[in-house]
């Protein structure tokens, strides 16, 4: 496993590490060294050398600023070290990419990170018509795929597409299409545009009413594509099943706190009426798990809910 060492002026490195772990969970290979506000190049060099001495194997150093003291000290000590790569221009997307793709080279990392800087307002205007919702009535051409959908993950996530879904789950599962099954999102062009912005550019996106998502998937409309099916709440999941959709397992990721909700896990808060819906879903033979990110253990959600 490649070590990743974040180096910066002040608390930036620790801040990026903290934000990273909110999205992907704790990672043993992520380390930090900072140039302290009252420190200097000597303080930083001593801390860097001590940290590097404690690390084994290949190390990717990510500095905040090319030409700054942390970067310059790293270059001075490790320019000729074949076990050490050094890049500058630290950002959360860059560090996520390095963390979830340990085999990526420094050059590939720099190339990919350039796409993470986006003029959001301009991009939103370009993608207002993100996903045209077309009701498919003739499924004959998909007959050979009927009932054979490749659902690589089915998840309840109140935030729909965000860092954990787009940057961690979808990429780790080699997802080819994300399907958001939610009536409100499907009817809102602005929300669809926001979801397209949040989804990886390499992954196709469909934002569909729940009943249409069920029909399209069961009838084989997406062929052999690896599909990540995403719901906002358990009520939509039950409606999907009642509309003829099917799957064996669903993962509950994020359900935020609402007045009257109780905590099942740190990231899952459920209302009393939602508990009833989960019981109905489970009664249909669906296994329900709770797992925030792939690094976390998968637990039996219904056992947790009932205790």
Q: Which residues are catalytic?
A: 162
Main-chain phi, psi angles of 250, to 5 degrees: -135, 140
Alpha-carbon distance 71 to 267, whole Å? 37
- Show Cβ contacts of residue 152 under 8 Å, excluding neighbours closer than 6 positions: 173, 174, 175, 226, 227, 228
Main-chain phi, psi angles of 272, to 5 degrees: -60, -40
DSSP 3-state assignment of 145? helix
- According to DSSP, the residues that pair with 5 across neighbouring strands are 31, 61
CA distances (Å), origin 35, targets 10, 64, 76: 6, 11, 16
> What would the two tokens of residue 32 be?
């930090």
Alpha-carbon distance 16 to 39, whole Å? 20
Main-chain phi, psi angles of 267, to 5 degrees: -105, 0
* 73 contacts 41 by C-beta, under 8 angstroms: yes
């Amino acid at each position: 496993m490649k070590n990743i060492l974040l180096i910066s002026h002040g608390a930036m490195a620790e801040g990026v590490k903290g934000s990273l772990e909110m999205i992907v969970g704790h990672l043993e290979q992520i380390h930090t060294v900072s140039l302290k506000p009252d420190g200097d190049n000597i303080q930083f060099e001593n801390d860097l050398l001590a940290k590097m001495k404690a690390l084994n194997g290949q190390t990717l150093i990510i500095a905040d600023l090319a030409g700054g003291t942390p970067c310059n000290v790293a270059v001075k000590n490790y320019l000729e070290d074949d076990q050490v790569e050094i890049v500058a221009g630290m950002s959360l997307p860059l560090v996520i990419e390095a963390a979830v793709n340990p085999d990526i080279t420094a050059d590939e990392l720099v190339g990919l990170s350039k796409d993470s800087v986006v003029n959001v307002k301009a991009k939103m205007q370009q993608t207002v018509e993100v996903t045209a919702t077309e009701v498919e009535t003739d499924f004959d051409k998909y007959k050979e795929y009927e009932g054979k959908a490749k659902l690589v993950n089915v998840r309840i996530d109140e935030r729909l597409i965000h860092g954990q879904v787009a940057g961690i789950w979808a990429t780790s599962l080699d997802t080819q299409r994300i399907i958001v099954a939610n009536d409100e999102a499907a009817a809102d062009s602005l929300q669809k545009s926001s979801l397209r912005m949040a989804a990886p550019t390499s992954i196709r996106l469909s934002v569909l009413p729940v009943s249409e998502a069920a029909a399209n998937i069961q009838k084989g409309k997406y062929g052999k594509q690896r599909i990540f099916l995403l719901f906002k709440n358990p009520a939509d999941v039950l409606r999907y099943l009642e509309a003829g959709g099917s799957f064996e397992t669903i993962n509950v990721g994020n359900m935020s706190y609402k007045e009257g909700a109780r905590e099942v896990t740190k990231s899952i808060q459920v209302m009393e009426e939602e508990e009833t819906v989960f019981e109905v879903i489970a009664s249909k033979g669906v296994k329900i798990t709770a797992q925030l990110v792939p690094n976390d253990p998968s637990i039996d959600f219904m056992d947790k809910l009932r205790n």
